[in-house]
Chains A and B, each alone.
Chain A
Amino acid sequence: MGTGRKRRLHFSKIYSFKCGRNRFDDDHSQIGGPGFSRVVYCNETGVAEAASQSYADNYVRSTKYTPMTFLPKSLFEQFRRVANFYFLVTGILSFTKLAPYSAVSAILPLIVVIGATMVKEGIEDWQRQKQDYEVNNRKVKVHRGGGVFESREWKNLRVGDVVKVVKDEFFPADLLILSSSYEDAVCYVETMNLDGETNLKLKQSLEATSTIHDDSDFNHFKATVKCEDPNASLYTFVGTMEYQEQQYALSPQQLLLRDSKLRNTDYIYGAVIFTGHDTKVIQNSTEAPSKRSGIERRTDRIIYFLFFILFLMAFLGSVYFGVVTKRDLDGDRQRRWYLGPDRSDIFFDPKRAPAAAVYHFLTALLLYGYLIPISLYVSIEIVKVLQTIFINNDIHMYYEEADKPAHARTSNLTEELGQIDTILSDKTGTLTCNSMEFIKCSVAGTAYGRGVTEVERAMAKRTGSPLIVNGRDQLLDDHNDEDSTLSVKGYNFEDERVTNGYWFHEPHSDVIQKFFRLLAICHTAIPDLDEETGKVTYEAESPDEAAFVIAARELGFEFYKRTQTTVSFMELDPVSKKRVERTYELLNVLEFNSARKRMSVIVRDEDGKLLLLCKGADSVMFDRLAKNGREFEESTKEHVNEYADAGLRTLILAYRELNEEEYKEFNEKFTEAKNSVSADRDELIDQATEEIEKDLILLGATAVEDKLQKGVPECIDKLAQAGIKIWVLTGDKMETAINIGFACSLLRQGMKQIIITLESPEIIAAEKDGDKNVISKVSKESVKKQILAGKAQLTASTSDPFALIIDGKSLAYALHDDIKSTFLELAVGCASVICCRSSPKQKALVTRLVKEGTGKTTLAIGDGANDVGMLQEADIGVGISGVEGMQAVMSSDIAIAQFRFLERLLLVHGHWCYRRISSMICYFFYKNIVFGTTVFLYEAYASFSGQPAYNDWYLSLYNVFFTSLPAIALGVFDQDVSARFCLKFPLLYQEGVQNTLFRWRRIFGWMLNGLVSGVIIFFLCTRALDPESYRKNGKTAGMEVVGATIYTCVVWVANCQMALAVSYFTLIQHVFIWGGIILWYLFLLAYGAMPTSISTTAYNVFVETLAPAPSYWVVTLFVVIAALVPYFCYKAVQMRFFPAYHGMIQWIRYEGNTDDPEYVNMVRQRSIRTTTVGYTARSIARDNNLYHLNLELQAPK
C-alpha cells in the first residue's frame, strides 16, 4: 500500500487474540429483533433511507437546564424544600387580606433568597454549558463524499458518517473501526475516561474493511450495520455489517467508544454508530447520588421543630383571639366598640368567631414566619461554595509534580469532612503510588540491591534500631521525585556489584546474564525510540512490567525494538566491552492471566537455540522447576520471603531450553488450540502451555516495590491521633496488604492480628469436591467460627490493640445478612482493619455496612475505577487524581492529588467547615428566635390580632440585610484555632466526630439564649418607653417609636452576640457586624426620607422622633448590654473552667507555648492516649514507661 505508511508489526500475531475470530454466536440472531433494531447506513448521507432515520444528533448536553426549562425547573427544585415552600405559600397568602404586612415586603426577601440560589445554579449550569460548547465544537474529519474529508464540528456528526480520527484525538462518538494506519487494522485506545485504566487497549477492524487505507477509497464505500439499541454496557456490542453483499459479525472489538483516545496509531477510519446521548459513555453516566450531610439533615429537623413551635404559637394565639373576638359582641352590646364588632368582616367577626380564629391562624402563620430563617439555606449554600473555594485554593493541598490542586466537586458536604469516623481506603494508587520500582533481585542465590524500602524503614523504626540509612533517606526523599538525572522512574536499584557492567565479575555471571536477558525479552512491552535523544521509553501493560524492562535497560540490556517476529536489545558484551545488538526470534507469547500467574515467551536466539523464558509467581514457579534447576532454590526462597516481608512484589524467573521436536509438537498443539472455535478453547490452550512450561531452571527472583506515597505514614499517624479509624480495602493479596499495613503503621508488632481466611485444609478439601452448596456452607461456618473466636479474643483482653485482616472470600460470607452485624462489631473493636482480595462490589458493601451499621460518617478514598462504588456509597468520596485516570475523580465528591493531603483536608478544612457551619446554623436560629420572640410577645399585647409593632420592611429585611452577613462571615472565616494548631492537636478533630458543636444541647442552648434575649429586649424596651412621654417635648411613644426601638435593640443584640461568638475577628467580620448595625440606621434614614406613601409609619421616624430623644439611646445601650450579659457570663465561666478542647488550645495559644509546657503536654497527651495505630502509638508502645500508659504495659519492649 501507501509508501508513507509505517510498517509496524502485526500484533495480532504476537498476542493470542480471541477477538480476531468472527463467529456468529447466539447474540447475533437477535439482530433486528426488539432491542436490536438499529440500522446504520454507513457513508450514505443524503440517501433517503439514511435521511429518514431520526437518531439523536451528536450534541451532548450535560447541563441541568436549558434556557427554556431553567426557570420552571429550578424554581421547582427550590420549592421542594419545606422552608422555601412555606415561604412561597406565605408569599401567596400575603396578597390576600389575611396578611399582616404588605405583599411586596413579604415577597421581596423570598425573591432575593430564591434569586441568589438560582443565580448560583445558573452560574454552575453556565459553566457546564461552556464545557459542552467546547466539546460539541471540537473538529473532526468527516467524509464529505467523493473521497474528500472535511473538518466538521462534533455536534454536526450524523449516524452513518465516516470519520477519520488521528493520533491522540478523542473519538467524537461511538465508532465502528473500519481500518487503521496499521496494515492489520489494529489501533490502540486509551480508555482512561471510561474505566480509569491507563493501559492501552487494542481494537481491530473486520478483515473485510481493513484494506481501505486512503481517503479516496471511501468514495464508493458502502456498508449497512445492524446492531443493538443504545445501552449502557461498555463491554458488550452486538451487531452485523453487510459489506459487499456479505454479512460479518461485529463484536466490542470493533467498537471505539466516545471519550476514549486514539494512541500509538496514526489514524483510523470509522463509521459513526451511536451519537450524542446514545453513546455508551453517556448512557453510562448516571447522576451521582446526591448526598446530604448529617448537619443538614439535623438542620431540617430543627426547622421542623421550629415549624412546630410556629404552629403552636399560632394556634394558641388563634384560640385567644377567637375567645376575645367572640366576647366583643354580647348580643347587642359591644365591648370593644371601637373595633366595630357589629359590622365586621369575616376575619374579625365575633358572630363567626371560630372562622375568624381559623383565618387568624393563617395570619399568625404568616407573621410568626420570622421564626424560620428564610435565608438559612441560601446562606449555607453560599458559605459552602466559599468554603470549597478555600479548599480548592489551599496551596498546601496543591501537588506540584502533577500540577493538581485539590478540587471539591460538590459543595454540599464540606462540614461532613469534619466528622469522619472511619476512613475506608484503597491501597494501590492511594496509599501507594502505583509506580513500581525495581529495587532488588536475587540471582543465582545471591541477593542484590541495597535500596531501602519504606517498609524496611518502618520496620527499622519498629525494632528500635537506629536507622542507619536515615541520613541518606532524607536525601533520597528530596531527590527522588524531581531529580531525573539521578533517578529513573521505576528503577531504584543500587548495587555496585551489578551496575555498570560489574556483574561480569560476579561468581555466577552467566546466570546473571541470562537473568537480565530474560527481563529484556520476556514481556509484552512496546518500545518507543525517541530518535532525537536515542532514549527508549516503554509502553507496558502494567507498571511491573515496565519496571522490569527499565531495570534491564539500566543494567545494560536495552530492549529497543520489537517487530512482529523479533525482539532486539543492545547488550554490553563482557568480553569486548562493546555494545552489541542481539535479535531474538519471537515464536510464541504465552500470556499472563490470573489463573496461570505466569507468562512465558518462546524465542530462538542468535545461535538458533530454542528457549522458553518464563516469569511468574512463587506459588506456581517452584513446582515447575526441573530437578537440575533447583540449584539456588533454597536461598532464593529465603530471599523471596525476605522481600515479601519488606513489602515487595516478587516474581520468580526461570528458563528452559527446548529441542526442535518438542517445540514443533507444542506449536502444533498450541496453534490448533488457538484456532479452535469450541467452547473449551481456553482449556486447550492452557493444556498446551502446561506441558511446555515445566522442567524449568531457576535463575532468580525480582523484587519490585509498590512505593508508598510520600507522607502516607505521617498522615495515617495524624489521622489515627485524631481518633479516625482507618480501614484498608484492597484487591491485593494478604501478604502484600499486611506488608503495606506495617509500612504505614496500621499494623505493628505487639498488635494481635485476627486473621479470617478460608485457606484452611477442610475448605480446600471441600473446594476440590466442587459441590457449590457444600463449599458455601462449610465456608460460611468457618467464617462465622473465626469471627466469633475473634470476638471472644477481643473481649478477653481489652488492653491489647487488635488488627483484623480478612480476605475477599471470607468477606463475601461475613457480609451475609445474618453475620454481618457480628462481623461489624468485631471490626469496630479492632484498631485497624484490612480487607484484602476484595472486589469493587465488596468494597462498596463494606462501606455500606460501616455507614449503616455504625451510623457514623464514613469517608472512602480511592483512585481507580474499582473504587467508584465505594466512593459513591460512602458519606464522602475522595478521589485521588493520580495516574489511574479520572473515573474515581468523576464519581468523587472531593478530589485530591495525594493521600497525604487528606490530613489537611480533614483536620484543618474539615474541622473548620464543621465548626463554621454548625456555629452559623445555631446563630441563625438564635437571631430568628430573638426576633420571633419579640414579635410574639408584642402580639400578646395586641390581643393576638396579628399586628406587628414593626414596619413591614423592617420585618422583611431583618433576615436578608441586617443580620445575615455577619453570620455568613462567621460561616466563611471563623477559626477556633489556626491550621497549625489543628494539625498539632489532632484530637481536636473529635469535636466533629462527637458532634459536640451541633448536638441538641447546644442547639437548644442557643435557642434558649435567643428566647432570653428576646424577652429581655421586649420587656425592657416597653417598660422603659411606655406609657409616659419619652422626650422632653412631652410627646409619647407611639407604635412606630416603640417598634423602631425594639427593632434597633434586636439588630444590636443579634450583631453583638455575633461579635461575642466569633473567635477569629478579621476586618471582614468587623465590617459585617458593625456594618449590619450601621446599615440599619442608614436604612432607617433612607426609608424615613421617602414619601409617606412609601415609608408609612417609618416616615421621618429616626430623624424626628428617635434620634433627638436621649431615652432612645439610653434604652438601646442598656437593653443591648442587659441582653448580652447572660451569654457573656456563661461563656466566661465555660471558657475558664470547662473549656472544650478547642478552648484549651486557645488558652495554650494565648498564654504562649513556653508558658506551661506541662499543660501543653497534657493536652497533647490526650490526643495520643486513645491512639493505637500510627507510629506515634508505636513509639509510645516502646517507651511506655514514659507515659505510664497501662494500655501498653503488656507489650514490653
Chain B
Amino acid sequence: MNSNPSTPMNAHAPSSSSGGAGSPDSNTPRRNSKRPKYSRFTQQELPACKPILTPKWVISAFMLVTIVFIPIGLTTLFASRDVVEIIDRYDNACVPGSKSQKVQHIQSATSNKTCIRSLTVRKRMKQPIYVYYQLDNFYQNHRRYVKSRSDQQLRNRGDENDTSTCKPENEANGMTIVPCGLVAWSLFNDTYSLSTSNSQLTINKRHISWKSDRDEKFGSEVYPKNFQNGGLIGGGRLNESIPLNEQEDLIVWMRTAALPTFRKLYGKIEVDIEAGETINVVVENRYNTYSFSGKKKLVLSTTSWLGGKNNFIGIAYLAVGGLCFLLATTFTIIYLVKPRHLGDPTYLSWNRNPGGH
C-alpha cells in the first residue's frame, strides 16, 4: 500500500506538491493543503484480479466440474447400491375396510390391533440393521405442532409448570402434563417385534437418539407425569418411572421432521440377516394415520458411509457432471467453429437507433 513519488500523480501537479508527495503519509501538513492523500485504496487502484470468461476458462471450469463430479457420483451411487433396504407398508394391510371403518377400528380401545407381516430379505444385510417407521402425509412440521412443546419443562424438573407454549395439551385434570404439548401427546406407538425363521431379532433401542438431546435437552430428573390422562388419548404412553432422557422413542419423536414424509429410527438389529430369509414382523398397529390418510411403513435398512439408500445424489452428480461435460464439448465446438466471432457492436442497443445528431 505504500506509495511513492513514482505513482501516477496528477500530471499537472506543480513542483510545490512534490515535497509532500514523497511522503504522503507524513503527519506534517503542507500549509493547509486539501490535496487528497494518495493511496491505492482511495484512488481505486487496488491490485485486483479481473476475471473474464475466456474459452479456456469456461471449458476448463466445466471440465473440472466433470472430473470432480463423475467420480463422486459413481462412488455415491455404489455406496447407495450397497445399502439393502426393505420397505413394508402395513397400514392398509393390517386394517381392512373403508376409511371410516379403519378409523373406527384404530380408535377403538378393544379391537385387536396385532398384525403379522412377513418380509423377504433379498440380499444379505450386515449389521447394524436399522429399523425405521415411516409416516406419510404427517405434518410434523406444522407450525402449531412444532411450537406445541416446552423445552424448559423437558429439561428442568423445576420448570415443570412452564407449559404456556404447550396449549392445548398443557394440562389434564387440572394438573400439568409432563411432557406437555402436541408433539409428545401424539407420540408414535406402533411396536414391532421381528423374528427370523430361527430366532427372535432383538431390537436395540439404546442410542437411537442424538446424544445432545439426551444430555442437554431432556432432563434426567424429569419424569413423565399425568401423561395421556386427559379425555383424548393421542399416541403412546410413557413409563413414569423412567426419566425423560432415557425415553429414547420420545426423544426421537420430538425431533420434528422436516417434511411430511419422514422416517424415524425405531431401533437397531445387531445381527446379520442372510439373503433369502424371511422376517416375521408382529406389528401392534395402534397409531392412527387413517384419519388423515397417512401411510405407515416399516423400513429395515443398512447404511453406507453416506447413509441410507439414496440413488438420487449419485444420479444427480452424474447428471450434472455429464451436463458439464456436454457443455464443455459444446463450447469447445462453438469456439472452434467460430473462433473469433467478435461481438458485433452494431448489436448494441444504442447503435441500432443512433440518437439524433
**Which A residues lie at the B interface, using CB under 8 A?**
100, 333-340, 343-345, 347-348, 363, 389-390, 392-396, 398, 400-401, 403-405, 482, 723, 798, 801-802, 828-831, 912, 941-943, 945-947, 949, 973, 975, 979, 990, 993-994, 996, 1020, 1022-1043, 1062-1069, 1091-1093, 1096, 1099-1100, 1104-1105, 1109-1111, 1114-1115, 1117-1118, 1121-1122, 1125, 1128-1129, 1131-1132, 1135-1141, 1143-1144, 1146-1147, 1149-1150, 1159, 1162-1163, 1166, 1169-1170, 1172, 1191
Given A345-B167, A1122-B320, A1131-B53, decide whether A1029 and B303 contact each other with a Cβ distance below 8 A: yes
Bound: A1121/B73 CA distance, A? 14
CB distance from A384 to the nearest CB of B (A): 15
A482–B14 CB distance below 8 A? yes
Q: List 18 A-B contacts (CB under 8 A).
A: A337-B234, A339-B144, A400-B35, A405-B35, A405-B36, A482-B14, A945-B144, A993-B350, A1028-B310, A1029-B307, A1032-B307, A1033-B303, A1035-B265, A1040-B255, A1062-B51, A1065-B50, A1068-B46, A1146-B50
Across-interface contacts of A1100 in B (CB, < 8 A): 212, 216
Interchain CB contact under 8 A, A395 and B308: no
Closest to A1065 in B: B49
Whole-angstrom distance between the alpha carbons of A1031 and B128 in the complex?
13
Say yes or no: A1066-B53 contact (C-beta < 8 A), given A1030-B307, A1031-B303, A1166-B345.
no
Residue of A nearest to B44 (CB): A390
In the complex, whether B101 has a CB less than 8 A from a CB of chain A is no
Q: Give A1121's nearest chain B residue, CB to CB.
A: B65
Of B113-121, B256-264, B276-284, the stretch lying at the interface with chain A is B256-264
Most buried by A among B235, B260, B309, B350: B350
> For A943, A949, A1038, A1146, which residue has the most chain B Cβ atoms within 10 angstroms?
A1038
**B257 touches which one: A396, A1034, A1038, A1118 (CB < 8 A)?**
A1038
Known: A389-B42, A1024-B313, A1129-B327. A1036 touches B262 (CB 8 A): yes
Nearest opposing residue in chain B for A1170, CB measure:
B354
B35 x A1066 contact (CB < 8 A): no
Give the nearest-CB partner of B155 in chain A: A1092
Contact A398 B10 (CB under 8 A): yes
A1041 touches B155 (CB 8 A): no
B7 to nearest A CB, angstroms?
9
**B349–A1026 CB distance below 8 A:** no
Q: How far is the CB of A1111 from chain B (nearest CB, A)?
A: 5
7 closest A-B pairs (Cβ-Cβ)?
A1028-B308, A1042-B258, A1034-B130, A338-B186, A343-B168, A947-B143, A1139-B343
With A392-B36, A1065-B51, A1092-B151 already in contact, the answer to whether A1028 and B256 are too (CB < 8 A) is no
Task: Please tell me which one of the listed residues A393, A1063, A1092, A1141 contacts residue B348 in the complex, with CB atoms under 8 A apart.
Answer: A1141
- Interface size (B, Cβ < 8 Å)? 115
Could you say which residues of chain B place their CB within 8 Å of the CB of A1093?
151-152, 155
User: Given that A338-B234, A942-B143, A1128-B61 are known contacts, is A1104 also in contact with B211, CB under 8 Å in the complex?
Assistant: yes
Q: Which residue of A lies closest to B327 (CB)?
A: A1129
Q: How far is the CA of A336 from the CA of B306 in the complex (A)?
A: 34
Say which residue of B17, B50, B103, B324 sits within 8 Å of A400 (CB atoms).
B17
B141 sits at the interface (CB 8 A): yes
Binary interface profile of B, 244-280, with partner A (CB < 8 Å = 1, else 0)?
A: 0000000000011111111111001000000000000
> Looking at A831, A1034, A1038, A1138, which has the most chain B CB atoms within 10 Å of its CB?
A1034
Across the interface, which residues of B come within 8 angstroms of A1163, CB to CB? 345
Known interface pairs A829-B356, A1104-B210, A1114-B313; A393-B37 also in contact (CB < 8 Å): yes
Given the complex, which residues of A lie within 8 Å of B146, measured CB to CB?
Answer: 947, 1039
Contact of B263 among A403, A801, A1028 (CB under 8 A): A1028
Given contacts A389-B42, A405-B34, contact A1138 B52 (CB under 8 A): no
Are the C-beta atoms of A336 and B348 separated by less than 8 Å? no
Report the Cα distance A1131→B52, complex, angstroms: 10
* Contact indicator B324/A946 (Cβ below 8 Å): no
Assess whether B145 is interfacial by the CB under 8 Å rule. Answer: yes
Nearest-Cβ distance from residue B114 to partner chain A, whole angstroms: 22
Cross-interface CB contact of A1022 among B259, B304, B324, cutoff 8 Å: B259
Q: Is the CB of B212 within 8 A of A945?
A: no
List chain A residues, Cβ under 8 A from B27. none
CA distance A815 to B239 in the complex (A): 92
**Contacts of A946 on B, CB cut-off 8 Å?**
143
* A1115 and B152 contact, CB distance less than 8 A: no
What CA separation (Å) do A1069 and B262 show in the bound complex? 41
- Residue B351 CB within 8 A of the other chain: yes
Q: Which residues of B from 1 to 50 have beta carbons under 8 Å from A?
A: 9-10, 12-14, 16-17, 32-38, 42-44, 46-50
A1039 to B264, CA, bound (A): 12
Asked if B345 contacts A1039 (CB within 8 A), the reply is no
Q: How far is the CB of A734 from chain B (nearest CB, A)?
A: 23
B78 at the interface (CB under 8 A from A): no
Q: A400-B10, A941-B141, A1038-B255 are in contact. List 16 more A-B contacts (CB 8 A).
A: A393-B37, A395-B43, A947-B143, A949-B141, A975-B48, A1026-B257, A1035-B210, A1036-B308, A1040-B255, A1066-B48, A1068-B46, A1125-B323, A1136-B58, A1139-B343, A1144-B343, A1170-B351
Q: Determine whether B342 belongs to the interface, using a CB cutoff of 8 Å to chain A.
A: yes
Tell yes or no: B169 within 8 A of A by CB.
yes
A405 CB contacts on chain B under 8 angstroms: 34-36
Kindly report which residue of chain B lies nearest to residue A1132, judged by CB atoms: B58
Alpha-carbon distance between A1149 and B49 when the two chains are bound, in angstroms? 13
In the complex, A830→B357 CA distance in Å? 6
Partner of A1024, one of B268, B310, B342: B310
Q: Which of B85, B141, B185, B345 has the most CB of A within 10 A?
A: B141
**Is B316 an interface residue, CB under 8 A from the partner?**
yes
Quick one: closest B residue to A828, CB to CB?
B356
Choose among A400, A831, A1140 the residue that contacts B357 (Cβ–Cβ < 8 A): A831
Q: A1150 and B342: CB pair below 8 A? A: no
The answer on a CB contact under 8 Å between B48 and A1064 is yes
Which stretch from B132-140, B193-201, B221-229 is at the chain A interface?
B132-140
Q: Known interface pairs A828-B356, A942-B139, A945-B143. Does A1027 touch B259 (Cβ–Cβ under 8 Å)?
A: yes
For B235, give the chain A residue with the smallest CB separation. Answer: A338
Contact with A along B291-304 (1 / 0, CB 8 A): 11100000001011
| Across-interface contacts of A343 in B (CB, < 8 A) | 168
A337→B51 contact, CB < 8 A = no
Residues of A within 8 A of B163 (CB): none
Whether A1132 lies near B349 (C-beta < 8 A) is no
Q: Which residues of B contact A1031 (CB under 8 A)?
A: 303, 307
- Would A1149 and B217 count as touching, CB distance under 8 A? no
CB contacts (< 8 Å) of B350 on chain A: these are 723, 990, 993-994, 1170
Verify if B285 is at the interface (C-beta below 8 Å from A).
Answer: no
B301 with A1028: CB separation less than 8 A: yes
Would B72 and A1136 count as touching, CB distance under 8 A? no
Residue of A nearest to B107 (CB): A337
Q: Which residues of B contact A1040 (CB under 8 A)?
A: 255
User: In the complex, which residue of chain A has the Cβ closest to the Cβ of B188?
Assistant: A338
A402 to nearest B CB, angstroms? 9
Asked if residues A1023 and B312 are in contact (CB atoms below 8 Å), the reply is yes
A333-B305 Cα distance, complex, nearest whole Å: 45
Look across to chain B and name the residue whose beta carbon is closest to the beta carbon of A342. B232
Question: Contact: B182 with A339, CB < 8 Å?
Answer: yes
The answer to whether A1150 and B143 touch (CB under 8 A), given A403-B33, A1027-B261, A1143-B343, is: no
Per the bound structure, the CA–CA distance linking A912 and B48 in Å amounts to: 16
Give complex CA distance A1023, B303 in Å: 17
Cα distance A1146–B51 in the bound complex, in angstroms:
9
CB of B54 closer than 8 Å to a CB of A:
yes
Assuming the contacts A100-B143, A1026-B259, A1029-B263, asked whether A1110 and B305 have C-beta atoms less than 8 A apart, the reply is yes
Instruction: Report the minimum CB–CB distance from A415 to chain B (whole Å).
Output: 16
Choose from B72, B85, B128 the contact partner of A1114 (Cβ within 8 Å).
B72
User: What 0/1 readout, one digit per residue, does chain B (62-79) give for beta carbons within 8 Å of chain A?
Assistant: 000100010010001000
Q: Bound state CA distance, A979 and B292, in angstroms?
A: 66
Q: State in angstroms the CA–CA spacing of A1031 and B310 once bound together.
A: 11
